[in-house]
Chain A
Amino acid sequence: MEPIARPALTEIVQNATHEVFRTMLGMDLAAQPDFVEKFPPPPAEGVVSLIGLAGRWVGTGCVFCSGPFACRISSQMLMTPVTAVGEEVLDVIAELTNMIIGNVKTGLEDSLGPMGLSIPTVVYGKNFTTRSTGEGEFTVYPFSLDGESFEVKICLAPSRKPNLPVRPGFPHSGALQG
C-alpha cells in the first residue's frame, strides 16, 4: 500500500483541526507551514496528548500547547473560567486530541485502510520532550492564535506485523522523556 502524499496529509490534519476548533470552541486557528521534526524537540513546558494509530500503517498522533493556552481552550469548551492546569484541563485536551486525531484517522482510512485508535494519554509538565519509539519521523503541523501556538504531530510508518483486526483501545507507542 502506497504511503499518503504529504500535501494530502497536511490537508487532512489542517481540516480536522480547523473543524474541531471552530465547532467545539468557536476559535479560528491560523495554519503555519508544516515541517518534519528531524530530532526530538527541546525540553518544553506545556500539555502534550498522545494517541496511537494502528492498522496496516501504525504510529502516533500528538497535540502540544502551553499551559495557559490549554486553560483558554478548556474555558471555551466548558464555558466556565479555568485558570490552572488540572484534571479538567487534561480531560479537555485529551478529548480535543481524540477528536482531531480521530478525524485524521477517518481521512487516512481512504488511503491506508482501516485503522484503530487508542485511548489518549495526556501529560502536563516542565522540561520534558517527546519522541516516537517506532519507525518514522514526526511531521509537525503548527497553528497559531493571538500569539499562542498549538501543534499537531503525526508519525506513521508501515506496520511490520501481520494485518490483524483493529479495535479501539489499544496501548500507543509514544514515549516521554524527562
Chain B
Amino acid sequence: MPANILIVDDSAAIRKILQRVLRQAELPLGQIYEAGDGIQALEIMQANNVSLVLSDINMPNMDGLQLLAQIKANPQWQSVQVVMITTEGNQARVMEAVGLGAAGYVRKPFTSDQIKEKLLTLS
C-alpha cells in the first residue's frame, strides 16, 4: 500500500527539497503532507492516515522530539515510523530520539541518496 508521508520542518525550502527527493525516489508514495512545526503535524495526523513522518528537531512551538514523544504515546500511531532529519549532531540528543522510538536519523546537510537509502531500510 502506498505510504502517506508527513514532512515536518520550519523551513519551506527543506520541505520543498524533501518533496522533490521523495518524488524522485521511485517508492510507492501516497499523499505527501507538510507541517511547519510539531503542533501542525499533530493536526495533520489527526485528520489523515500518515504512515511515515520525516521531522526536523529544532522548530518553534513544538520541536521534533516533543512531536516524536506525542506520536509514540498515542496508541493509534504505534505503527507510524518517524525519521529525524536535523542539524542536531549531539549524541545525547540522538540517543534521546532513538529512546523515544525514532526509526532513523539523517543529519543535515544531506544528499538525496542518503534520504533514499534511509527510506529503503524502512520499507
Contact = CB atoms under 8 A, between A and B. Distances in A.
Interface of A: 19-20, 23-24, 74, 77-79, 88, 91-92, 94-95, 98-99, 102-103, 105-106, 109, 114-115, 117, 119, 167-169
Interface string B1-35: 00000000011111011001000000000000000
Contacts of A74: 13
A102 to B, nearest CB: 3
A129 B104 CA distance: 41
A74 B88 CA distance: 22
Interface residues of B, number: 23
Chain A: interface secondary structure? helix
B108 interface: yes
A114 to B, nearest CB: 6
A114 B88 CA distance: 11
Chain B: interface secondary structure? loop
Interface string B73-96: 000000000000011111010000
Contacts, number: 71
B58 A169 contact: yes
Given A23-B111, A99-B109, A106 B89 contact: yes
A103 B13 contact: no
B11 A114 contact: no
A98 B88 CA distance: 10
Q: What are the 3 A-B residue pairs with the smallest beta carbon separation, nearest first?
A: A102-B87, A106-B89, A23-B109
Contact of B11 (A94, A103, A106, A115): A94
B63 A99 contact: no
Interface string B57-83: 111100100000000000000000000
Nearest to A93: B13
